[in-house]
């Protein structure tokens, strides 16, 4: 039997081959020869193995009405919102994300390199679109971000000159492009930051831009086994919808909540187990805070329950989502693939960056099934309010756009 030399294949694929040959109790070589032979027989000589995703792993088409619409993905990260909107009939016409590692993932997953810094964006190059989606940076408003900035004596919220003011860039884009619908996402703390003043400014700004605003805090725990509360803001151009969009957020899905154990992989690499030094440190840290009467500390996850919120700093010590490893053993952290699943990203999306970058990217992302559920309600408004035109609902300059189509 010939020997097969495996080189230069993605790590995910290599792991899959190892897992499969292991569970088939055969050597990697014999497993691959079997696989190639089956592929040859099944495809009449056309070997099609790894460039296509097995049908069972492909994203499922959205249930219910599918209305084609276009959208822009701003502060795109790795495209959590994009996956959700695509699942309900949206096609992305423009993306913007300045982190080069997130851009790498985005290109691998969606085949396009997002535009870089939003502050350099020439709005004339930005295509018209039906929905403007933006999960704008949350650090200036998140509890962790605010306490860190406070401890460093730095300004937070809108006073953070580099990140806080990005909302106003967004407002400028909305004012110029006048998308019929906007979909914004941020941490729940945005609503209480600076005694509610930040939230008021955001509402007032969108109101002045003449958008009918709906918002809801959604806990991703209804979709994935993770406690993750985020505020979703959906706005409809009043000039087009006359303040009567009829939009409603969906109630949470019924049925049992997903369980943390369902996202765990088999036999993770021992490198994900915490070292004695780190585990001792985390236990002492938690003990110190317990004595002071506050709840800071690690999160040992109940396998039958849901985890704490995965944060972008998970790569540092993994402390917020630890996994028990059995008696007398140090706990472990999530593997990047498990982090992806905890966020609702499907397994067929290959992780193309280092573990550190992957944790940062997933910790920053929007949970795609949550974006999908909000996107479905937006599509519902399109379906009921607007007659489909040329396969697209785009408001074009030079005609009456959406207003004319109603
Ligand atoms: C909360 S994350 C976005 C999550 C993403 N929308 C999703 O659906 O998963 C915010 C993103 O904004 C990006 N960002 C921050 N400042 C930016 C800027 N000035 N221009 C472009 N992207 C920026 C960050 O790199 C980060 O990936």
Give residues with Cβ within 8 angstroms of 325, minimum separation 6: 273, 331, 332
Residue 303 is predicted with a pLDDT of: 96
Domain at 260-364, CATH class: alpha beta
Ligand 1 centre to CA of 136 (Å) is 6
The pLDDT mean for the chain works out to: 84
Q: Taking 50 as the threshold, does the pLDDT of residue 62 lie above it?
A: no
- Asked if residue 92 has its Cβ within 6 Å of ligand 1, the reply is no
Residue 148 is predicted with a pLDDT of: 64
- Asked if residue 76 has its Cβ within 6 Å of ligand 1, the reply is yes
Indicate which residue's Cα is closest to atom 14 of ligand 1: 75
- Residue 31's pLDDT band, with cuts at 50, 70 and 90, is confident
Can you tell me the distance from the alpha carbon of 201 to that of 189, in angstroms, rounded to the nearest whole number? 14
92 is catalytic: no
Ligand 1 closest atom vs CA 84: 8
Residue 33 is predicted with a pLDDT of: 79
Residue 396 is predicted with a pLDDT of: 44
Rounded mean pLDDT of 256-274? 94
Residue 302 is predicted with a pLDDT of: 96
Q: In Å, how far are 152, 194, 315, 321, 387 from 145, measured between CA atoms?
A: 11, 13, 16, 19, 44
Rounded mean pLDDT of 67-84? 95
**Closest-CA residue to 353 (of 365, 334, 336, 333):** 336
Ligand 1 closest atom vs CA 137: 10
- Asked if residue 81 has its Cβ within 6 Å of ligand 1, the reply is yes
Higher pLDDT, 345 or 166: 345
Can you tell me the distance from the alpha carbon of 80 to that of 57, in angstroms, rounded to the nearest whole number? 17
Ligand 1 centre to CA of 316 (Å) is 20
- Asked if residue 374 has its Cβ within 6 Å of ligand 1, the reply is no
Q: Which of these ranges, 18-27, 86-95, 292-301, has the smallest mean pLDDT?
A: 18-27
- Asked if residue 32 has its Cβ within 6 Å of ligand 1, the reply is no
Ligand 1 closest atom vs CA 163: 16
- Residue 55's pLDDT band, with cuts at 50, 70 and 90, is very low
- Residue 393's pLDDT band, with cuts at 50, 70 and 90, is low
- Asked if residue 100 has its Cβ within 6 Å of ligand 1, the reply is no
Ligand 1 centre to CA of 135 (Å) is 7
Ligand 1 centre to CA of 209 (Å) is 23
- Asked if residue 75 has its Cβ within 6 Å of ligand 1, the reply is yes
- Residue 77's pLDDT band, with cuts at 50, 70 and 90, is very high
Higher pLDDT, 117 or 297: 117
Q: In Å, how far are 14, 20, 162, 345, 394 from 51, measured between CA atoms?
A: 14, 18, 41, 19, 33
Higher pLDDT, 266 or 3: 266
Rounded mean pLDDT of 3-18? 73
Q: Taking 70 as the threshold, does the pLDDT of residue 390 lie above it?
A: no
Q: Print the SS3 string covering the chain.
A: CCCCCCCCCCHHHHHHHHHHHHHCCCCHHHHHHHHHHHHHHHCCCCCCCCCCCCHHHCCCCCCCCCCCEEEEEECCCCCHHHHHHHCCCEEEEEEECCCHHHHHHHHHHHCCCCECCHHHCCHHHCCCCCEEEECCCCCCCCHHHHHHHHHCCCCCHHHCCCCCCHHHHHHHHHHHHCCCEEEEEEEHHHHCHHHHHHHHHHHHHHHHCCEEEEEEEEEHHHCCCECCEEEEEEEEEHHHHCCCCCCCCCCCCCCCCCCHHHHCCCCCCHHHECCHHHHHHHHHHHHHHHHCCCCCCCCECCCCCCECCCCCCHHHHCCCCEECCCCCCCCEECCHHHHHHHCCCCCCCCCCCCHHHHHHHHHHCCCHHHHHHHHHHHHHHHHHHCCCCCCCCCCCCCCCHHHHHC
Ligand 1 centre to CA of 23 (Å) is 40
Strand partners, 396: none
Residue 57 is predicted with a pLDDT of: 42
Indicate which residue's Cα is closest to atom 25 of ligand 1: 99
Q: Which of these ranges, 51-65, 145-159, 236-250, 348-362, has the smallest mean pLDDT?
A: 51-65
Residue to probe by mutation, ligand 1, list 98, 103, 132, most atoms within 8 Å of CB:
98
Residue 29 is predicted with a pLDDT of: 76
Q: Taking 90 as the threshold, does the pLDDT of residue 358 lie above it?
A: yes
Catalytic residue chosen out of the listed positions 72, 92, 138, 392: 138
HSE of 270 in the Cβ direction (CA atoms, 13 Å)?
2
Q: Does domain 61-256+368-405 have CATH number 3.20.20.10?
A: no
Rounded percentage of the chain residues whose pLDDT exceeds 70: 78
Residue 135 is predicted with a pLDDT of: 93
Rounded percentage of the chain residues whose pLDDT exceeds 90: 59
Rounded mean pLDDT of 366-392? 82
- Residue 194's pLDDT band, with cuts at 50, 70 and 90, is confident
Ligand 1 closest atom vs CA 81: 8
């Amino acid at each position: 039997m010939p020997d097969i030399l495996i080189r230069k294949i993605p790590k995910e694929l290599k792991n899959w081959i190892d897992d499969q040959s292991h569970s088939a109790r055969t050597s990697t070589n014999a497993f691959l020869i079997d696989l190639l032979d089956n592929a040859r027989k099944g495809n009449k000589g056309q070997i099609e193995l790894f460039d296509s995703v097995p049908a069972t792993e492909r994203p499922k088409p959205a249930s219910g009405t599918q209305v084609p619409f276009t959208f822009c993905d701003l502060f795109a990260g790795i495209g959590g919102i994009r996956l959700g909107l695509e699942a309900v009939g949206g096609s992305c016409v423009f993306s913007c994300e300045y982190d080069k590692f997130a851009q790498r993932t985005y290109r691998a997953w969606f085949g396009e390199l997002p535009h870089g810094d939003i502050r350099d964006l020439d709005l004339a190059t930005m295509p018209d679109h039906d929905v403007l989606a933006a999960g704008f940076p949350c650090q200036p408003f998140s509890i962790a971000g605010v306490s860190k900035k406070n401890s460093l004596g730095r300004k937070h919220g809108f006073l953070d000159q580099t990140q806080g003011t990005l909302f106003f860039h967004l407002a400028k884009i909305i004012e110029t492009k006048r998308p019929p619908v906007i979909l914004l996402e941020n941490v729940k703390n945005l609503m209480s930051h600076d005694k509610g003043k930040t939230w008021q400014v955001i509402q007032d700004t969108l109101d002045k831009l003449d958008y009918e605003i709906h918002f809801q805090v959604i806990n991703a725990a209804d979709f994935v086994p993770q406690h993750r509360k985020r505020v979703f803001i959906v706005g409809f151009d009043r000039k087009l919808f006359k303040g009567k969009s009829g939009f409603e957020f969906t109630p949470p899905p019924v049925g049992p909540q997903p369980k943390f154990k369902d996202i765990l992989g088999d036999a993770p690499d021992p490198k994900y187990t915490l070292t004695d030094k780190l585990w001792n440190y985390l236990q002492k840290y938690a003990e110190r805070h317990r004595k002071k009467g506050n709840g800071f500390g690690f999160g040992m996850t109940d396998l039958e329950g849901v985890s704490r919120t995965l944060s972008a700093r998970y790569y540092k010590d993994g402390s917020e989502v630890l996994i028990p490893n059995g008696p007398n053993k140090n706990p472990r952290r999530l593997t990047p693939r498990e982090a992806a699943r905890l966020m609702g990203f499907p397994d067929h999306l290959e992780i193309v960056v280092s573990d550190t970058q992957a944790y940062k990217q997933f910790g920053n992302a929007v949970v795609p099934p949550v974006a999908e559920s909000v996107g479905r309600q937006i599509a519902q408004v399109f379906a009921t309010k607007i007659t489909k035109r040329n396969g697209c609902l785009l408001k074009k300059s030079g005609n009456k756009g959406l207003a004319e189509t109603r």
